[in-house]
Amino acid sequence: MSDDPGKDALRMMPYGFYSITSRHGDEKNIMVANWVMQTSFEPRYVAVGLQQTSYTHKLIEDGKVFAINIFNNSDVEAIKPFTKSREKNPNKVEDATFQDGLKTGCPILNDAAAFLECKLIEVMNIGGDHDIVIGEVIGAGVMKPGDSSVTLTLSDIGWSYAG
């Protein structure tokens, strides 16, 4: 434990580990994120916390679409190539194997267990270093059936991005 109980408490919350893909015209990007959740049943909305300075943030604002690629914990090696920024790994999109989503054109990663294609509803600047990006799910698919007990989380790989 640290001397900051707020940080310690936030690190006790479970966080999934996902790949967010985006597209604007011919430009595509792939990144990882863990602040992702469903926020409405009808319409079906999801929220993603995105760092304001990320390349994906700009692509989503300009392209108005994104996809959430969900991985199983057994596929941790498949998501690792996307953990570095575009600046540090400029060829990660070219090196990835994916299909363009039918609804958004965003990359749907071949090794993902499932995906959600989203239309941008709103980007909320909440005064912090991340914005909340709200998307409406307009397409989805499951390539590897399972449930949340096998979904990749930060704790599966020993990482923390909280506090």
Tens digit of pLDDT for each residue in 99-110? 999 999 999 999
Contact call for residues 67 and 116 (beta carbons, < 8 A): yes
Homologous superfamily (CATH) of 13-157 is: Electron Transport, Fmn-binding Protein; Chain A (2.30.110.10)
Q: What angle do CA 51, 56, 61 make, to 5 degrees?
A: 95
Global confidence as pTM? 0.95
- For residue 2, what pLDDT is reported? 83
Q: What is the phi-psi region of residue 57: left when phi exceeds 0, alpha when psi lies from -120 to 50, beta otherwise?
A: alpha
Tens digit of pLDDT for each residue in 117-152? 999 999 999 999 999 999 999 999 999 999 999 999
Label residue 85 exposed, middle or buried (CB < 10 Å: 0-12, 13-18, 19+).
Answer: middle
Domain ranges of the chain: 13-157
| Residue 8 DSSP label | H
Tens digit of pLDDT for each residue in 25-83? 999 999 999 999 999 999 999 999 999 999 999 999 999 999 999 999 999 999 999 99
State the Cα–Cα distance between residues 106 and 114, nearest whole angstrom: 14
